[in-house]
Structure 1
Amino acid sequence: MAVKSNKKQVEKKPEKQSSDRKFTIWRSVKRDFSKLSQQRRSFLNRRPHRSFRLTRRRDYRRNLNIPGYWSLTSEACRLIWRNKRTFLALIAVMSILTFTLSSVMSQDTYQQLRDVMNQAKESGIGEVYTTISLFSGVMVSYFSGSGTAGGNIQQMSGAFLGLLTWLSSVWLTRAILIGKKPKMRDALYSSGSPIIALIIVIGIFLIQMVPAAIAVIVYSALDASGVLNQTPILMAVGGAAILIVSMSVYWATSTVFAMIIITLPGMYPLHALHLSGDIVTGRRVRILLRFIWAVVTTILLWAIILMPTILFDGALKGWFNDINWLPIVPTVGLILMYASIILMSVYVYMFYRKVVESDSKKSKSR
């Protein structure tokens, strides 16, 4: 009888193991669904907007208790000025590396632009308009990388140096604000770890700007073909293009903050986008206006420095033809490009800190 009972127990063991396994699987599936449900409820609490539903103002209105436009800009400029040696050293190192890797705007490209503007001046266009057009061409050439000397490798190296400048300036700003006295060398050695994550975030930013690029390309093609000669068609197509561009820029607003959040230790790109989206929810337009202000300020900086440089370069090379090879304007444009990256990174980082501190003070008061 004992042998038979043992056999029955042995026969029952596989059935018991299979039932336990099924119970374990069901419990893990239930736990996963519970986590997904909690994440969904948390997301809906943080993001009040619903598709195809009118959101009430009381549900999405969030305060933005930070300094004004001029105050925040002057604060960022004062921080850069107090640590001008460190930031100037960063600009100098990056400019030298860019010259070494031949990813600077070539003098031949600038001379071609200048020749085109001289022909336009001879045809009756004023000198002011030709100077503004030449200034715009140089600025667009630097930030798009279309006029750089060399091939794709040189352009990629220039983009890499630009990203490293952004990370280094953010690292320096964070260290300065916590009371340290960092060196430029420390920033170059210590700030480059999240560069791959930053590339992913910028890739997402470019994807978000694809609708705007398509709208601009379609508008340019219709304008070149003469379809927009009629006023009603011009108004309809122009309005649609402006709307699509505005939607893309509105969509990409949170990604700019993600470029700061990604510099935190152990941060992943999607999590940075998740946090930045929570920060801008309910105040995206006001944050977007701050970014537009920073861009306009940067353009004014370029205009104040580069346009007199263009006039000086034309006058100097008109007196001395033997120095036409000297890249005065490309060099100044290169320095301005890195100065603009530093100014934008410091401004965006300080803006991000002000928003986070304002939210934390509000939560503590509650």
Structure 2
Amino acid sequence: MATKTSKKRVVKNPKKSNADHKKGVWPGIKRDFGKLNQQRRNFLQRRPHRSFRLTKRRDYQRDLKIPGYWSLTSEACRLVWRNKKTFLALIIVMSILTFALASVMSQDTYQQLKDVMNQAESNGFGGIYTTISLFSGVAVSYISGSGTAGGNVQQAAGIFLGLLTWLSSVWLTRAILIGKKPKMRDGLYSSGSPIIALIIVIGVFLIQMVPAAVAVIIYSALNASGVLNQTPILMAAGGAAILIVAMSVYWATSTVFAMIIITLPGMYPFHALRLSGDIVTGRRLRILLRFAWAVILSVLLWAVVLIPVILLDGALKGWISGIDWLPIVPTTGLILLYVTIVMISVYVYLFYRKVVESDTKKTKN
């Protein structure tokens, strides 16, 4: 005879359930705080500097055993020269794309700038100073994009092409150094994946340069209002502006290396910024001087090439009538812009590799 089994209804004790819940939640919270505390200790171990506290020399001194200024520069130039067809093709393609899709300095803008300089020369401003001022105006126009023709869409396209040139140059340099023989199209097709991450890194760089921009704007406003007519005020304001600009540049030094690290596969922007910060810690000033060296050489390159072109442009258009529309100087400036991007990207990548290799050798020893 089958018997029915009665099912007992189990009533959970609410107090016991809450206690178990607390026992389950507390270890998780404790574990999370433990991870945060471990990350903080790791960060303090990697970064010996403390705010408002004098750091001992033994804690922050780090070696930087890399080639000298001229040696590293010549190595970058030799690499570009040995692969001149590849890099020259990249420069030509990007220049053509910029003419077609983006905005460049128009001949009308250059002519207006030239007329202003000629007017200043007629008022007693020296001829050589006029040429240097015209060169400075063209260079600043291309670097800042302030004098280019076109709207926001064209300027955005120009920025995109500049970033793509940087990524392609780094990709090609990395492929060449590991023994491959890449073509220009390989770098152009394969290097664009981290462009959004690169935009984020550059956004961080621009944020770091905000104090410098604010300092320059305030100094210019004070100078225009006549507040700086007195020498003590001028010296104090100038010293403060220089100090703030130097601090911003000093702060943004690691971000330049992050623009190289971000090209590694699977790299996230803030992870790249963290790694670059660890690399420059304890030797930021020496690395900053290397970057300043690259900037100085770029300015010299622009001066050596562009100033003769400006003089030649003025002579040709004075001898031959009807060619005032010919954009000789704007075209030269555009090509120089992409040459500068390629050269600096190769130089910074080689510099980054030397620093990493120096740290690796020190760790093995």
Calculate the TM-score normalised by the size of structure 1.
0.96
Which residue does 1:269 correspond to in 2? Answer: 269
* Contact persistence 1:103–1:154 (CA under 8 A): yes
Which residue does 2:56 correspond to in 1? Answer: 56
Which residue does 2:355 correspond to in 1? Answer: 355
Distance 1:200 1:94 in 2: 22
CA gap of 1:6–1:64, structure 2 versus 1, over 3 A, is: same
Which residue does 1:134 correspond to in 2? Answer: 134
- Trace 1:164-243 onto structure 2 (pairs within 5 A): 164-243=164-243
Once the two structures are TM-superposed, the CA of residue 39 in structure 1 deviates from its matched residue by 0.5
Letter in 2 for 1:206: L
For the pair 1:106 / 2:69, whether they are aligned, the reply is no
Letter in 2 for 1:99: F
- % same residue: 78
Could you list the runs of 4 or more consecutive aligned residues of structure 1 that deviate by over 6 angstroms after TM superposition? none
Aligned to 2:322, the other structure's residue is in SS state: helix
- Trace 1:284-303 onto structure 2 (pairs within 5 A): 284-303=284-303
Once the two structures are TM-superposed, the CA of residue 270 in structure 1 deviates from its matched residue by 0.7
Which residue does 2:324 correspond to in 1? Answer: 324
Distance 1:342 1:86 in 2: 11
Distance 2:60 2:81 in 1: 38
Encode CA deviations 1:45-96: one digit per residue, 9 max, x unaligned.
0000111111011110100000000000000000000000000000000000
Distance 2:358 2:247 in 1: 27
Aligned to 1:322, the other structure's residue is in SS state: coil
Letter in 1 for 2:42: S
CA RMSD, aligned part only?
A: 1.4
Encode CA deviations 1:251-290: one digit per residue, 9 max, x unaligned.
0000000000011111111101000000000000000000
Encode CA deviations 1:104-159: one digit per residue, 9 max, x unaligned.
11111100111111111111221111111000000000010011111111111000
Count the aligned residue pairs: 361
Distance 2:318 2:103 in 1: 27
Once the two structures are TM-superposed, the CA of residue 13 in structure 1 deviates from its matched residue by 6.8
Which residue does 1:32 correspond to in 2? Answer: 32
Distance 1:342 1:243 in 2: 31
Once the two structures are TM-superposed, the CA of residue 103 in structure 1 deviates from its matched residue by 1.0
Distance 1:326 1:266 in 2: 46
Distance 2:170 2:91 in 1: 14
Once the two structures are TM-superposed, the CA of residue 102 in structure 1 deviates from its matched residue by 4.3
* Contact persistence 1:102–1:148 (CA under 8 A): no
Once the two structures are TM-superposed, the CA of residue 16 in structure 1 deviates from its matched residue by 5.3
Distance 1:25 1:249 in 2: 46
CA gap of 1:23–1:5, structure 2 versus 1, over 3 A, is: farther
Which residue does 1:86 correspond to in 2? Answer: 86
Letter in 1 for 2:154: Q
Which residue does 2:154 correspond to in 1? Answer: 154
* Contact persistence 2:102–2:157 (CA under 8 A): no
Aligned to 1:52, the other structure's residue is in SS state: coil
Aligned to 1:11, the other structure's residue is in SS state: coil
* Contact persistence 1:254–1:277 (CA under 8 A): yes
Distance 1:87 1:102 in 2: 21
Which residue does 2:144 correspond to in 1? Answer: 144
Distance 1:261 1:13 in 2: 56
Calculate the TM-score normalised by the size of structure 2.
0.96
Once the two structures are TM-superposed, the CA of residue 24 in structure 1 deviates from its matched residue by 2.4
Once the two structures are TM-superposed, the CA of residue 199 in structure 1 deviates from its matched residue by 0.4
Structure 1 unaligned segments of length 5 or more: list them: none
Distance 1:91 1:177 in 2: 20
Aligned to 2:274, the other structure's residue is in SS state: helix
* Contact persistence 2:72–2:347 (CA under 8 A): yes
